[in-house]
Amino acid sequence: MNAIATELKERLESRTATVGIIGLGYVGLPLAVAFAKTGFSVIGVDADPSRAERIGAGVSPIEDVPSADLAALVHGKRLVVKSTVDSLGEADAIVICVPTPLGKSKEPDISFIITAADAVAGILRPGQLVVLESTTFPGTTEEVLLPRFTGAGMAVGEQFFLAFSPERIDPGSRTHDLTRIPKVVGGVTVACSELAQVLYGQIIERIVPVSSPQVAEMVKLFENIFRSVNIALVNELAIMCRRLDMSVWEVIHAASTKPFGFMPFYPGPGIGGHCLPSDPYYLAWKARMAGYEARFIAFADEINRGMPAYVVQLATDALNEQSKPLKGSRVLVLGVAYKAGVGDVRDSPALEIIDALFVRGAHVEYADPHVPHVQVGSRRLTAVAWDKAELARYDLVVVLTGHSEFDARRIVGEARLVVDTRNLTGPLGAHPHVIRL
């Protein structure tokens, strides 16, 4: 390491460095809090002024960061919140955690990364480390960020340092804490990699270095594609098992007893959240640019995206068996978040299912202790309080999210008809009025 790198390393190891975080969402805010708790001075930046103001007042917009913890750091001046990147000129390390959505044609939209990179390029100075955490296609760090940062004449690995480290946040998890999830790091140069490892080593127990940013970018995509493909496989298995009159849940449970060569995945009403519906397309797009069509990725996505329609058909068939049409029936949906324990409804299959039920003439309400209001198409819905919901008043109860607050015994005991897509009621055994995915 040269003198610039050595000085930065010493500041990071002594935790006298200032860390800047661009993007205070589900990834950036927990990261900012972790660094601040460890003793770093942290500057958080969010382009949404109202969000920045709220966080700057110590009020957390996400469930994984308690407002009490955030407020203590804000009031203690360990975490300062700004709305522009200009304030990061004094930061020693800058971590970019901005969204990477898909375009209308399912092509990567890295406009937020480009905007953040251009802003960083305007304030970049010798002795700074920049790390991209946003999920993106392989090559982004070196093809998009690096040219912008070297435009001023500074040399990467000597005057400034650049790396990619994919986020591995597990929203709502009580077991996978940010500090205990191994962190993959890929630097543009050896010095870049070493400094990024030192940075994250202050808050995370295990660092996993890889040979380049491109490898680190691919790691993140592979992790989520692995999940997407296996979820698609088990979703298709669920459809086949129903046709063959057997329980997919029993099959999975029995297969899980094999101590090698098998990992259980579970079917559901579809995939949601920011990562699974989008990430595979980042790799598929990059592969297409290289002349290869990722057919397996596309097929898995086709199966997963077909699950909401399959659930609507299950609901229709269940009501038909009781000589009731879906049109005019009262339906209560339990859970609109994309996974249990969170209030995140981004790309949640529940929204598509509810909209389809409305279109077919059903009268739909929902209960979700984590989501008080939700927008479904042109409708803004308000949650029914779970503890006050009169389940027997509904023609059908559909379980779409397995929140721990939902009492399976109450669902089975009070509801007249149930479609359970999460096997929430499974431990209670078979019941003629409960249809499981």
Active-site option among 97, 192, 241, 275: 275
Tell me the β-bridge partners of 376: 379
Beta pairing class for 160-164 and 183-187: antiparallel
Query: In whole angstroms, what is the distance from residue 334 CA to residue 416 CA?
Result: 14
Put residue 170 in one of left, alpha, beta given phi > 0 → left and psi -120 to 50 → alpha. Answer: beta
Tokens of 19: 């860390």
Beta pairing class for 379-382 and 373-376: antiparallel
Tokens of 23: 């993007």
275 counts as catalytic: yes
Query: In whole angstroms, what is the distance from residue 404 CA to residue 172 CA?
Result: 11
Please, what's the b/e burial string for 101-140 (b: 16 or more CB within 10 A of its CB; e: otherwise)?
ebeeebebbbebbeebbebbbebbeebbbbbbbbbbbbeb
Query: In sequence order, which residues have a C-beta less than 8 Å from that of residue 13 and are 6 or more positions away?
Result: 198, 202
Q: Which long-range contacts (CB under 8 A, 24 or more apart) does 249-253 make?
A: 249/423, 249/426, 249/436
Query: In sequence order, which residues have a C-beta less than 8 Å from that of residue 200 and are 6 or more positions away?
Result: 165, 183, 185, 207
**What residues act catalytically?**
275
